[in-house]
Amino acid sequence: MTKYFTFARYAQEYFAGDNDEKKEEVLSIVGQNLTYEDRKLLFESMKYLTPIVQKYPNLKAQYFRVGTYKKQRGEKLIADIISAWYAVVSEVRTPIASSINL
């Protein structure tokens, strides 16, 4: 579980850094079928990330809408959004955890 959170916390930094091995690890976890075309790195996201890609826009919109509600109702809505995110995390947790080899 620690590896999962370490990856989530540092993936962007690993990819932006100078260590090519760390960049390769990040790409191997999130993508497949890597190609380099017109000075762009293209890849397909791993299938187990599909629930996040599909559900993120709606959950993000819900989160930003909560700011317009009164405090008590907003806290309840935030709790609901957190529960929805836990459901998404549960869908992808096992495949990601088994693929992380940091």
Q: What is the pTM of this model?
A: 0.45
pLDDT of residue 69: 66
pLDDT of residue 93: 66
pLDDT of residue 74: 66
pLDDT of residue 70: 65
Q: For the chain, what percentages of helix, strand and coil (3-state, to nearest 5) are there?
A: 75, 15, 15
* The two three-digit tokens of residue 63, written as one number: 């989160």
Divide the 102 residues of the chain into consecutive groups of 10 and give the mean pLDDT of each group: 70 86 82 83 78 82 74 74 79 62 50
